[in-house]
Structure 1
Amino acid sequence: MTTFTVWKFDTPEGANGASDTLKAAASDGLVRVVDSAIVSWPADAKAPKTVNRNEDSWRGTGWGAFWGLLFGTLFFVPFLGAAVGAAAGAISKAVGAVGINDEQLEEIRTQVTPGTSALFVVTENADTDRLGERFRGHAKLIATNLTDAEEKVLLETFGA
C-alpha cells in the first residue's frame, strides 16, 4: 500500500534531520521510500524553502511536478488572491484526486508556518507505527492512507 505522510517539526531544521532518520528506517526495512520532500520555513522568511529529495531519480521529474503542485497549493496560491480562484480550485481538485482532501490541505497549511519545517513522504509498505517511534517527541504526524484507486492515480500521474 502507498502512503502519503507529512511530519511537522517545530524548528526550521527539524525536517532535515528527520530525512536521515527516514533513510535509516528504510535501511532497516521499516519503509520503502518512493520520494520525499522537505519544506523549511525560517521564522523571518515570507515563504518556505522546498527541496525534493528525488529518492527514485528515474521518476524524479514526475514527483517534482507532484511536489510543485502540492506546495503551490499549500503555500503560494493562497497568497495570490481571488484572481486565481478558478485555478486554485482546479489544483485542489487535482491534489484531491490522489487522496489529499481540502481539510488535510488546510491542516497542513495552518501547521507548517514560519519557524517550522515538514517532511513530506510517499512510501510503500510502511510500518508507520514503528516509523513514528523514531520521530517521537520531535514531530507531529499528519497522514493520509491512499485507497487503491488514489494510489493508481498518484503513480500514473506523477510516478511514471
Structure 2
Amino acid sequence: MTTFTAWKFDTPDGAQHAADALKGAEQDGLVKVLDRAIITWPEGAARPDMHHTNEDKRRGTGWGAFWGLLFGTLFFVPVLGAAAGAALGAISKAVSAVGLNEDQLQTIREQVTVGTSMLCAVTTEGDMDRLGERFHGLHSTLVATNLTEAEKSLLMETFG
C-alpha cells in the first residue's frame, strides 16, 4: 500500500532531521520511500520554501510536478482569488489522486506557519513499529494522511 503522510515540526529544521531519520530507516529496510518533500518557513521569510528529493531521476520528474502542484495549491493559489477558481478545481482533483481532500489541504495550509517545517512523504512497505522508534523524540504532529482510520490510529499510537 502506498501512503502519503505530512508531519509538522515546530522548528524550521525539524523536518530535515526527520527526513534524515527516514532515509536511515529506508537504508535499513524499514520503509521504501517513493518520494519526499520538505517545506520550511524560517523566521523572517515572506513565504515557505520547498525542497524535493528523489533518488530516482526518471520518476523524480513526475513527483516534482506533484510536489510543485501541491505546494502551489497550498501557498499560492489561495492568494490568486476568484480568477483561479476553475484551476483550483483541477488542482484539487489531481492532488486527490494520492488521497488528499480539500479539508486535508486546508489543514496543511494552516499548520505551516513562520518558524515551522513539514515533511511530506510518499512511502510503501513500512514497518510502523520499527519506523516509530526512529522518529521518537522528533516532536512531530501528523497533519494529513491517506490511511484508513484504523491505520491512522496505529500510526498515531506508534509515533506518539
- Compute the TM-score of the two structures, normalised by the length of structure 2: 0.84
Counterpart of 1:127, as a letter, is D
Is 2:50 the counterpart of 1:33? Answer: no
For residues 93 and 20 of structure 1, the distance between their equivalents in structure 2, rounded to whole angstroms, comes to: 31
Segments of structure 2 that go 5 or more residues without pairing to the other structure are 149-160
How many pairs does the alignment contain? 147
Q: Match of 1:58?
A: 58
Separation of aligned partners in 2, 1:10 and 1:40: 10
Q: Take 2:28 and 2:103, find their aligned partners in 1: how far apart are those partners? A: 33
Measured after TM superposition, the shift of residue 135 of structure 1 is 2.2
Task: Tell me the CA shift for residue 146 of structure 1.
Answer: 6.0
2:98 corresponds to which letter in structure 1? V
Cα contact 1:36–1:55 (8 A) shared by 2? no
Other-structure match for 2:7: 7
Structure 1 vs Structure 2 CA RMSD: 1.6
Contact 1:32–1:125 (CA<8 Å) still a contact in 2?
A: yes
Distance 1:10 1:25, change over 3 A: same
Q: Is the 8 A contact 2:108 2:144 kept in 1?
A: no
Aligned pair in 2 of structure 1 residues 132, 107: CA closer, same or farther (>3 Å)?
Answer: farther
| One-letter amino acid of the structure 2 residue matched with residue 140 of structure 1 | T
Q: Which runs of 4+ in 1 moved over 4 A?
A: none
Determine the C-alpha separation between the residues in 2 that align with 1:47 and 1:111.
Answer: 13
Residues 113-149 of structure 1, C-alpha deviations (whole Å, 9 max, x = no match) = 11100111111111234323422342112342369xx
Contact 1:2–1:146 (CA under 8 A) maintained in structure 2: no
Residue in 1 that maps onto 2:156: none
Q: 1:78-102, CA deviations, whole angstroms, 9 ceiling, x for partnerless residues? A: 1111221111121112211331111
Q: Distance in 2 between matches of 1:115 and 1:98?
A: 27
Q: What is the rounded CA distance, in whole Å, between the counterparts of 1:68 and 1:134 in structure 2?
A: 28
The TM-score, its normalising length taken from structure 1, stands at 0.84
Match of 1:85 in 2: 85
